[in-house]
Amino acid sequence: MTPRNIVPQIFTFIFYLLLQIFFVRQLVFFNYAFCFVYVATIILLPFDTSRVQLILLGFVAGMLVDVFYNTIGANAAAMTLIAYLRQPVLTLLVPQRGYDERQILSLKSMGASWFLSYVVILTMIHHFVLFSLEASNFGLIVPILMKVIASTIFTTLVIIIIQFFRKD
């Protein structure tokens, strides 16, 4: 991250955390679709963010949400994992023209299909880890998978809607 884009990234990070903690927390559909918009704090960081920075920011974001949700580290574990896996997912989805390290990662700059697949993959990993840790019983795999699928769709839709209000 360059000094030029660090301040907007800090505000974006804080925005998504505050949105999650104070507003989105109550958005639940049929007790299966939960919105965890704060995953965007890691997903939307610039390409040139180092893995160490990603992991530390993911852990901090997860711990802050854990404090307000009383989830004893489940969010921190899920966020730390997606922060660690972000680079391999980016490598998996590399476009033909490659990545511009200074490019802002957004729906507008990356295109709808690439952005959607990227967000869905990382969000699904986050949700699977989070709901598995909360259930702590793989005998509940069907309800876990239902929550993962419904919550991934819901979270992805909210992240995409927010993208339409960004001015990149």
Residue ranges covered by each domain of the chain: 3-163
Mean pLDDT confidence for 73-80? 93
Please write the tens of the pLDDT for every residue from 19-53.
888 888 777 778 778 888 989 889 988 888 889 98
**The overall pTM is greater than 0.85:** yes
Contact call for residues 124 and 3 (beta carbons, < 8 A): no
Question: What are the DSSP calls for 85-111, one per residue?
Answer: HHHHHHHHT--TT---TT---SHHHH-
Please write the tens of the pLDDT for every residue from 134-167.
887 777 888 889 999 999 999 999 999 888 887 6
* Closest listed residue to residue 116, CA positions, set 68, 72, 156, 57: 156
Q: How many whole angstroms separate alpha carbon 165 and alpha carbon 168?
A: 9
Q: How many whole angstroms separate alpha carbon 95 and alpha carbon 116?
A: 13
Q: pLDDT confidence of 77, banded at 50, 70, 90?
A: very high
Mean pLDDT confidence for 57-81? 91
